[in-house]
């Protein structure tokens, strides 16, 4: 009897072991240790924000400075391509309702984090920022993944320039991007942009990859030498609100252009900038770029197809026709009389997604 009891007990133990092994076989081995997908993503974002993009917080010796006064960084992208924008504001401006600061955060979120519009090639976003901008704002941009580049404001000599709007007074500073020769190509994008898809494929366009030869290196006596070749590609200004696809114009919009950095070209721009009356100063760098790259000049601009990558004065029809980005101050009530309300709703939805993304990061202790 005792022998039968031992056999029964052994059989029971063996059965339990086999059942336990069967459960382990069916259950995904890492299921109980798999972190939340959102938590894992946010953790990666915060970690990369301090390392992959060359942030000041993660660089023990700071960034090298170029002769132009621009603090530069080095891209970790295999092709050394980058996005860039310009963010400024009044001295020591600490307003919580700073719409341009919010726009800078929205653009950062779109280019680096939003699943439908972010870079898939790890291209950094360079935020060119004058030294006087409140560091609490730039700290936020760095924490959210942008590469903040502190720089001196660039202005023309002799105070001959009179911008049409006071808020445009520092726009020549964008030109400092041309000194950042550690990058092969930079796409400049104004802050007030709404993206519909990733911009990465723009770097594969023929007009971007193929270098243009300067037609003639003869310049006016008061202008600095021209480079042997160059890359400067823009989008035509739409000219105003429109329902149909605009015609291809010959005037480059200053809010969206792609170029190859070049110190010779930068010095040429400076000589033009410091020559009174040489270009339309009311629109600042837009006037300068349209003069330097005029169609009948030695370095004519090349254009992206109308409405493919970007368009200003947009309508919802531009989105339906496939525009990768649309350009306007969608948050500005002064635009209410003409701006397409569907685009306004898209903007506020994108801003809400950005705020929700970082709120989740805060709740998870990742921000």
Same domain, 17 and 83: no
1 vs 16: CA distance, rounded Å: 23
With cut-offs at 50, 70 and 90, classify the pLDDT of residue 23: very low
Residue 200 pLDDT > 90: yes
**CA atoms within 13 A of residue 320's CA, in its CB half-sphere:** 8
Give me the phi and psi of 168, to 5 degrees please.
-95, 5
User: In this predicted model, what pLDDT tens digit does every residue of 238-290 receive, in sequence order?
Assistant: 999 998 999 999 999 999 999 999 999 999 999 999 999 999 999 999 999 99
Give me the phi and psi of 81, to 5 degrees please.
-100, 155
Output the pLDDT for position 92.
67
287 vs 293: CA distance, rounded Å: 10
Query: 49: buried, middle or exposed (CB in 10 Å: 19+, 13-18, 0-12)?
Result: buried
Same domain, 42 and 84: yes
User: In this predicted model, what pLDDT tens digit does every residue of 93-127 receive, in sequence order?
Assistant: 777 789 999 999 999 999 999 999 999 999 999 99
Same domain, 177 and 286: yes
Residue 32 pLDDT > 50: no
- Provide the 3-class DSSP secondary structure of residue 186: strand
Domain containing 16 equals 2-33
Same domain, 63 and 8: no
Same domain, 117 and 229: yes
Which domain CATH number covers 313? 3.90.550.10
Same domain, 7 and 42: no
- H or E element: which one contains 354? helix 341-363
172 vs 188: CA distance, rounded Å: 13
48 vs 28: CA distance, rounded Å: 29
Kindly report the number of other CB atoms within 10 A of residue 172's CB atom: 20
pTM of this structure: 0.81
Output the pLDDT for position 89.
85
Look at the chain and report how many structural domains it folds into.
Answer: 2
Same domain, 120 and 198: yes
Q: 363: which 2 tokens?
A: 């709740």
Same domain, 321 and 233: yes
User: In this predicted model, what pLDDT tens digit does every residue of 43-96 receive, in sequence order?
Assistant: 444 444 434 433 333 332 333 344 344 444 444 445 899 999 999 987 767 777
Output the pLDDT for position 91.
73
Same domain, 135 and 280: yes
Same domain, 71 and 174: yes
Same domain, 192 and 54: yes
Output the pLDDT for position 224.
98
Same domain, 76 and 21: no
**Percent of the chain whose predicted confidence (pLDDT) is above 70:** 78
- H or E element: which one contains 233? strand 232-236
Instruction: Please answer whether residues 294 and 226 qualify as being in contact, where contact means their C-beta atoms are separated by less than 8 angstroms.
Output: no
């Amino acid at each position: 009897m005792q022998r039968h009891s031992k056999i029964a007990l052994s059989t029971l133990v063996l059965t339990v072991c086999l059942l336990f092994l069967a459960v382990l076989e069916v259950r995904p081995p890492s299921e109980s240790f798999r972190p939340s997908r959102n938590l894992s993503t946010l953790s990666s974002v915060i970690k990369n924000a301090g390392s992959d993009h060359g942030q000041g917080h993660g660089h023990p010796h700071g960034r090298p400075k170029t002769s132009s006064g621009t603090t530069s960084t080095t891209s970790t992208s295999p092709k050394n391509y980058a996005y860039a924008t310009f963010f400024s504001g009044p001295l020591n401006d600490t307003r919580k309702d700073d719409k341009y600061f919010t726009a800078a955060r929205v653009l950062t979120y779109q280019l680096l984090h939003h699943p439908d519009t972010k870079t898939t090639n790890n291209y950094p976003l360079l935020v060119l920022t004058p030294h006087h901008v409140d560091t609490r704002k730039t700290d936020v941009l760095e924490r959210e993944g942008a590469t903040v580049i502190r720089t001196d404001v660039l202005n023309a000599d002799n105070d001959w320039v009179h911008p049409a709007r006071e808020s445009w007074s520092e726009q020549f500073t964008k030109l400092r991007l041309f000194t950042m020769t550690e990058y092969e190509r930079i796409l400049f994008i104004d802050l007030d942009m709404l993206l519909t898809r990733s911009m990465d494929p723009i770097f594969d366009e023929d007009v971007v990859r193929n270098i243009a030869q300067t037609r003639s290196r003869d310049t006016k006596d008061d202008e600095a030498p021209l480079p042997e070749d160059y890359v400067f590609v823009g989008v035509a200004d739409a000219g105003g609100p429109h329902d149909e696809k605009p015609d291809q114009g010959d005037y480059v919009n200053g809010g969206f252009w792609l170029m190859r950095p070049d110190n010779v070209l930068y010095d040429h721009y400076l000589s033009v900038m410091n020559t009174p009356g040489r270009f339309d100063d009311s629109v600042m760098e837009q006037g300068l770029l349209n003069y330097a790259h005029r169609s009948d000049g030695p370095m004519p601009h090349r254009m992206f197809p109308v409405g493919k990558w970007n368009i200003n004065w947009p309508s919802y029809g531009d989105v339906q026709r496939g525009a990768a980005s649309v350009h306007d101050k969608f948050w500005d009530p002064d635009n209410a009389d003409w701006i397409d309300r569907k685009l306004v709703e898209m903007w506020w939805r994108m801003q809400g997604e950005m705020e929700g993304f970082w709120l989740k990061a805060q709740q998870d202790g990742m921000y």
